[in-house]
Structures are given as structure tokens and as C-alpha cells.
Amino acid sequence: MKKQNNLFFLIGGLLVVILIFFFVFLNPNKINSVSSDQFEQLISSEEVYVINAHTPYIGEIEGTDLNAYNWENMDSYLDQLPEDKSTPIAIYCRSGRMSTISAHQLLELGYTNIYDLDGGMNTWQSSGRNLVQNVEETGEIKEFDIVANNWDFSPNKIEVNLGDQVILNIESVEGAHGIALYDFEINEFINQGDQITIEFIANKQGTFSFYCNVPCGHGHSSMNGLFIVN
Ligand SMILES: [Cu+2]
């Protein structure tokens, strides 16, 4: 009787160990958190489908296949995602928070081979790697006439869509001023009576500040405005 008990516990124990091993080490339904080095290695393979789950758009890792602006509803991308659910998927966002949520949704959709960049684009960049700006242009031109005087811009709120071509005609009718919109590498001076034209592509989403970059008097510090890219 005692011997049988021992055997029973031995077999039972062995089964438990095998089950734990299977779920912890072999369970395919988990998300693999990877470093920037591992991520770079992964996405160098053509076979790997790469997803940016960060919004608003701040740029992307070269080789990205899908910018998932709708990162909370990955099922909305089923027609673009690989048909073969065992295709390796490499996913990232800015910090790792959004991509982990999206990755879990991919698991629920049946994908079995998911790699999540730990620390996201922040870690990618701090490891000395770059992002690329790869915005699809809308082909639309959004032109604004802006008047600079002492001490404001009029209008001081400009709104465009991601991918629009933006033209700013800025005239200084009173005093010497300038305009700085550093997020788009704009930094120009405007003498009194002059008009300048600035053209660029709105290649990132968000709300950005522009302001006068010339010390122009006591109202200078409040001479600013907002540039909004939807
Ligand atoms: Cu100023």
C-alpha cells in the first residue's frame, strides 16, 4: 500500500512538473518582451511583420509595416495583418505601454508569435538608434496669412491634418519679430514691413507652440500661438 502511494505521488508530481514546464516555457500564447538589440535583429527579417502602436505619430522605426493609429482596436486591422497567425509580429510604441495592450489583443485574435519592444521608441533612441519620418502626404495645401505686430500673431491658432503641406505667409506690420516652431525646425526673422513664406509638411501629430524668437519688447514673452496637427 505504501509503495503504491509513493508511486502515485511520484507520477502525480511528475505530471505537475511537466504541466508547469509546458505553461511557463512552451506556452506559445505569450508575448515575448525583447530588447532593442533583439528587436533590430528580428525586424531585419522580411518575414517579420512590424507594427507601430503609438499615436500620435512621432516617427517610426524603419521597416514598419503598419502604423496602428487605432491601437486599442487591433481587430480593425485584420485585413492588413498577416493571414498566417504564426507569422512573427514585432510591435512597439513610445514607452511600451500601448504596444503591450495591442499585443494582448493580437494574442486574442489568434497570433502566436509576438515580440514587444521593451521600453519602446524611447529605449530604441537612447540606444543610439533613429526614428524615420514616413508620413503619407495628403496632397492638400493649407495656406495661412499671419500678421505679426506688438505683441501677437493673428491668427494665433493654426490647425491642419497630418500629411498636409503647410504654407505660412507671415507679415510683420509693427516691429521686428520672428517665428520659431522648433518641432518643425522653423526659426525665421521678419523685419518690420517684411513678409516671409514658410513651407513644410505637417509630418507629426500633436499640439505644438510657436513663438516670437526676437526680444521685441515687454509683450514679447506672450507673443506665441498654437500649431495643431490632427
Ligand atoms: Cu518677440
Tens-digit pLDDT profile for residues 52-97 = 999 878 889 999 999 998 899 999 999 999 999 999 999 999 999 9
| Mean pLDDT score, 4-25 | 67
Q: For position 170, what pLDDT does the model report?
A: 98
The residue from 126, 152, 181 where one domain ends is 126
Q: Are residues 89 and 32 in the same domain?
A: yes
Into how many domains does the chain fold? 2
The torsion angle over the Cα atoms of residues 54, 55, 56 and 57, rounded to 10 degrees, is 50
pLDDT at 2 over 70: no
Q: How close is the Cα of 152 to the center of ligand 1, in Å?
A: 9
- The answer to whether 150 touches 219, Cβ cutoff 8 Å, is yes
C-alpha cell at 116: 514587444
pLDDT at 50 over 60: yes
Give a yes or no: residue 114 inside a domain.
Answer: yes
Give the end-to-end CA distance of the chain in Å, rounded to a whole number: 76
Q: How close is the Cα of 58 to the center of ligand 1, in Å?
A: 29
Q: Are residues 119 and 166 in the same domain?
A: no
Give a yes or no: residue 48 inside a domain.
Answer: yes
Tens-digit pLDDT profile for residues 125-134 = 999 999 998 8
| Mean pLDDT score, 129-148 | 92
Q: Are residues 150 and 94 in the same domain?
A: no
pLDDT at 27 over 60: no
Q: For position 206, what pLDDT does the model report?
A: 87
Give a yes or no: residue 216 inside a domain.
Answer: yes
Q: For position 21, what pLDDT does the model report?
A: 60
Choice between 155 and 14, residue whose per-residue pLDDT is larger: 155
Return the bridge partners of 144, or none: 168
Give a yes or no: residue 98 inside a domain.
Answer: yes
Q: How close is the Cα of 185 to the center of ligand 1, in Å?
A: 18
Q: Are residues 156 and 91 in the same domain?
A: no
What letter represents residue 226's amino acid?
L
Q: Are residues 38 and 119 in the same domain?
A: yes
Q: How close is the Cα of 39 to the center of ligand 1, in Å?
A: 45
pTM for the model stands at: 0.59
Q: How close is the Cα of 15 to the center of ligand 1, in Å?
A: 75
pLDDT at 154 over 70: yes
Instruction: Choose among 132, 28, 133: nearest CA to 89.
Output: 28
pLDDT at 216 over 80: yes
pLDDT at 19 over 70: no
Q: How close is the Cα of 119 to the center of ligand 1, in Å?
A: 39
Q: Are residues 46 and 119 in the same domain?
A: yes
Q: For position 107, what pLDDT does the model report?
A: 96
* pLDDT bucket at 26, cuts 50 / 70 / 90: low
Domain that holds residue 223: 141-229
Q: How close is the Cα of 217 to the center of ligand 1, in Å?
A: 7
Q: How close is the Cα of 192 to the center of ligand 1, in Å?
A: 12
Q: How close is the Cα of 173 to the center of ligand 1, in Å?
A: 13
Give a yes or no: residue 39 inside a domain.
Answer: yes
Q: How close is the Cα of 168 to the center of ligand 1, in Å?
A: 18
- The answer to whether 190 touches 218, Cβ cutoff 8 Å, is no
Residue 157 belongs to a domain with what CATH number?
Answer: 2.60.40.420
- CB atoms < 10 A from the CB of 205, how many? 18
Residue 68 belongs to a domain with what CATH number?
Answer: 3.40.250.10
* pLDDT bucket at 29, cuts 50 / 70 / 90: low
Q: How close is the Cα of 203 to the center of ligand 1, in Å?
A: 27
